[in-house]
């Protein structure tokens, strides 16, 4: 079995290549391009697109299977007794520009298109017509033959030039990412409760099936579900993640809807009672982390934090830790630091830490441990053991 890379490790490797490229532009021809392998919906192109956004550099997405060889090389135009080539305008021209060119779905391209891409990917040039600026990293992504997607084999000449990374779906990473993107908490709560529903390529892959990409779409659909009838909403969920996962998720949502108003809990308008059902506890904790930082002003934010801690002191350690880790997530490092500072400096944090600190430390260690390379389901397992 080949080694797999997490999304975090993938970003770390690509950042390393970018820094080398920018600090030592003379190494541009020596650094290997990165090839990302993995099943559909795992986030191969998303991880690169978001990294470019984070770094403030450009991103060019090339779907090779939708191109013709002339799109890469350029269009030949007769000029007297010579031929002049008109290159595509999408290739970067500014020698000081920076970014990533991603040849997405490379394995869906036939051999003729792969050959046409050789020179660009491997030599960073198109003959004497064009040279890729030194600030640009070249990457590619594709599905594996066992994924039952369109997948052609790479030639040995092309494959041998890449640094190959295989991505695997990771629930912990996806939940942290979903929290940082403020996706609807019902989806993250359900997937923590039923981690087996996160990713599955069993069943009919010609219809909707559960993957990180399809669950993101469900989460975004949840934000606007009031615009749909209940039956139409259910049909869309079935169409996104398949019958089995959708049936479980919709049942989970019906139980979660019986929870008290989370914002009213954080305002202190209603008293807190610990739900008896495990699925409702998962839904409660995800909703607490989601709503905590959505106060209208600083005064209300202090009230939200006060009642967040009061509720946390009444929760089992596993669930209190889950809510706390969600609360510390943010869209970037600055937001995460600001949230952590607000939490650690709060007057009730010491009491919370005495009660739940050991479980929090174990959970954080498990999440940040990069050596075992295993998909973490520690929090759901711990929470289940506490019931």
CATH number of the domain residue 34 falls in: 3.40.50.300
What predicted TM-score, i.e. pTM, was given to this entire model? 0.77
Quote the pLDDT of residue 375: 37
Are 56 and 144 found together in one domain?
Answer: yes
Residue where a domain terminates, one of 167, 185, 202? 167
Give pLDDT, residue 313.
96
Asked if 381 and 233 sit in the same domain, the reply is: yes
Question: In terms of domains, do 243 and 308 share one?
Answer: yes
Domain count, the chain: 2
**Domain, as residue range, for 356:** 171-385
**How far are the Cα atoms of 63, 107, 132, 144, 354 from residue 110, in angstroms, in the given order?**
12, 8, 24, 15, 60
Tell whether 325 and 213 lie within a shared domain. yes
Q: How far is CA 152 from CA 4, 147, 162, 235, 358, in A?
A: 21, 12, 16, 34, 49
pLDDT at 265: 95
Q: d(Cα 229, Cα 215) in Å, to the nearest integer?
A: 20
Q: Are residues 101 and 198 in the same domain?
A: no
Q: Are residue 108 and residue 188 in the same domain, yes or no?
A: no
Dihedral through CA 195, CA 197, CA 200, CA 202, nearest 10? 130
CA dihedral angle for residue 221, residue 57, residue 172, residue 6, rounded to 10 degrees: 130
134 and 226 in a single domain? The answer is no
Among 131, 151, 167, give the residue marking a domain's end. 167
Q: What is the mean pLDDT of each run of 10 residues along the chain (387 residues)?
A: 80 94 92 90 89 94 80 73 75 94 85 79 84 94 69 75 90 88 92 92 82 95 91 95 94 90 94 92 93 93 96 95 91 89 94 93 72 41 39
CA dist list (Å): 368 to 267, 329, 373: 33, 14, 11
> What pLDDT is stored for residue 380 in this prediction?
40
374 with 253, same domain: the answer is: yes
pLDDT at residue 4 in the model? 87
Pair 163, 176 in one domain = no
Contact indicator for 170, 376 with CB cutoff of 8 Å: yes
């Amino acid at each position: 079995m080949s080694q797999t890379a997490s999304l975090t490790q993938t970003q770390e490797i690509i950042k390393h290549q970018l820094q080398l490229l920018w600090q030592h532009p003379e190494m541009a021809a020596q650094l290997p391009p990165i090839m990302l392998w993995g099943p559909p919906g795992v986030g191969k192109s998303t991880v690169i697109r978001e990294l470019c956004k984070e770094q403030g550099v450009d991103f060019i997405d090339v779907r090779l299977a939708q191109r013709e060889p002339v799109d890469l090389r350029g269009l030949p135009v007769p000029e007297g007794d010579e031929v002049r080539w008109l290159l595509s305008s999408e290739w970067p021209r500014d020698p000081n520009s920076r970014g990533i060119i991603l040849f997405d779905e490379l394995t869906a391209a036939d051999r003729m298109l792969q050959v046409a891409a050789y020179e660009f990917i491997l030599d960073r040039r198109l003959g004497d017509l064009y040279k890729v600026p030194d600030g640009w990293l070249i990457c590619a992504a594709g599905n594996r033959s066992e994924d039952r997607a369109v997948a052609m084999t790479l030639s040995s000449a092309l494959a041998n030039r890449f640094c190959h990374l295989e991505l695997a779906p990771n629930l912990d990473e996806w939940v942290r990412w979903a929290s940082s993107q403020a996706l609807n908490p019902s989806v993250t709560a359900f997937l923590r409760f039923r981690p087996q529903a996160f990713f599955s390529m069993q069943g009919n892959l010609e219809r909707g099936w559960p993957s990180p990409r399809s669950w993101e779409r469900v989460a975004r659909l949840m934000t606007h579900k009031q615009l749909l009838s209940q039956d139409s909403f259910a049909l869309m969920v079935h169409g996104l993640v398949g019958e089995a996962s959708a049936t479980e998720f919709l049942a989970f949502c019906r139980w979660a809807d019986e929870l008290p108003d989370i914002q009213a809990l954080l305002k202190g308008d209603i008293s807190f009672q610990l739900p008896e059902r495990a699925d409702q506890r998962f839904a409660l904790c995800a909703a607490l982390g989601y709503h905590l930082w959505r106060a209208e002003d600083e005064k209300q934010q202090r009230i939200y934090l006060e009642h967040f801690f009061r509720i946390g002191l009444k929760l089992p350690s596993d669930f209190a830790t889950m809510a706390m880790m969600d609360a510390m997530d943010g869209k970037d490092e600055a937001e995460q630091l600001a949230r952590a500072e607000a939490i650690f400096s709060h007057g009730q944090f010491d009491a919370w830490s005495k009660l739940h600190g050991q479980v929090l430390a174990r959970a954080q260690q498990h999440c940040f441990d990069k050596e075992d390379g295993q998909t973490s389901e520690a929090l759901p397992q711990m929470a289940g053991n506490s019931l």
